[in-house]
């Protein structure tokens, strides 16, 4: 199409019927009503879910809220080597190491805290751990709370971190 004919189309003067925009208004209303009826009667085709009653399935590779792994006797697997806190780019893992009473286990975390507000969910901590003591495979993505302190989670929380929901 030549430049002149394009300009001609752009400068096309609308007739009276077109200038009322009624046809376009009804066409738009028709599309809106079509979506409304489809969403009312064919809900399973809707791209949205009824959150929070319904949750989406996330990929197995999704990095959710952390958990600390336990040995068979229920004690923490962590040996307080500090590899995770060293690897953490956000400096949000704080561990106090204590001497373990079992001489075959050198150390254990007296305290193990993660500041979830600083965490960027990069997964470096679980990759750095030499004994698979910290994982992010909980699938938990609901990380909400009403105060900053709630996001500072401790060892007891991390050992039993298996529930969606607010902190
Ligand atoms: S996921 Fe990344 S930012 Fe979060 S605690 Fe682990 S290493 Fe730190
Ligand atoms: S969670 Fe793993 S990397 Fe972190 S201190 Fe414990 S044993 Fe070391």
88 shares a domain with 26: no
Residue owning the nearest CA to atom 2 of ligand 1: 122
82 shares a domain with 36: no
For residue 87, is it within any domain? yes
Looking at all shown ligands, the one closest to residue 83's CA atom is: 2
Tokens 């080597």 correspond to: 81
The model's pLDDT over 103-157, given as tens digits with 9 standing for 90+, comes to 889 999 999 999 999 999 999 999 999 999 999 999 998 888 899 999 999 999 9
Say how many C-beta atoms besides its own lie within 10 A of residue 75's C-beta: 13
Closest CA to 127 of 45, 54, 66: 66
CATH number of the domain where residue 76 is located: 3.30.70.3270
Tokens 């150390």 correspond to: 107
- Write down the pLDDT at residue 44: 78
Residue 70, strand partner residues = 76
Structural domain of 36: 3-44
For residue 17, is it within any domain? yes
Pocket of ligand 2 (CB under 6 A): 78-84, 95, 128-129, 131, 133-134
Gap from CA of 60 to ligand 2 centroid (Å)? 22
Gap from CA of 141 to ligand 2 centroid (Å)? 22
How many CA atoms within 13 Å lie on the side-chain side of 26?
A: 4
Residue 153 and residue 20: Cα distance in Å, rounded? Answer: 62
pLDDT band at 50 (very low <50, low <70, confident <90, very high): confident
For residue 167, is it within any domain? no
Write the CA distances from 20 to 13, 14, 24, 28, 29, integer angstroms.
13, 9, 9, 14, 15
Least confident of 5-19, 109-123, 153-167: 5-19
140 shares a domain with 96: yes
What share of the chain has pLDDT > 90, as a percent? Answer: 62
pTM, 2 dp: 0.74
For residue 115, is it within any domain? yes
Residue owning the nearest CA to atom 6 of ligand 1: 125
- Write down the pLDDT at residue 7: 59
Enclosing H/E stretch for 41 = helix 22-41
Residue owning the nearest CA to atom 3 of ligand 1: 119
For residue 62, is it within any domain? no
152 shares a domain with 76: yes
Average pLDDT value over all residues in the chain: 90
The model's pLDDT over 92-107, given as tens digits with 9 standing for 90+, comes to 999 999 999 998 899 9
37 shares a domain with 71: no
Residues 32-59: what's their mean pLDDT?
A: 87
């Amino acid at each position: 199409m030549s430049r002149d004919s394009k300009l001609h189309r752009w400068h096309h003067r609308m007739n009276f019927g077109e200038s009322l925009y009624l046809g376009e208004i009804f066409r738009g209303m028709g599309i809106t009503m079509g979506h409304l009826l489809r969403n009312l009667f064919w809900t399973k085709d809707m791209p949205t879910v009824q959150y929070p009653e319904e949750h989406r399935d996330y990929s197995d590779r999704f990095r959710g809220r952390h958990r600390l792994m336990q040995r068979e006797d229920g004690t923490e697997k962590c040996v307080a080597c500090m590899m995770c806190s060293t690897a953490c780019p956000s400096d949000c893992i704080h561990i106090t190491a204590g001497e373990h009473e079992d001489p075959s286990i050198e150390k254990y975390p007296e305290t193990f805290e993660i500041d979830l507000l600083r965490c960027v969910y990069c997964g470096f901590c679980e990759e750095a751990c030499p004994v698979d003591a910290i994982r992010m495979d909980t699938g938990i993505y609901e990380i909400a709370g009403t105060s900053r302190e709630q996001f500072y989670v401790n060892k007891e929380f991390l050992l039993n971190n298996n529930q969606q929901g607010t902190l």
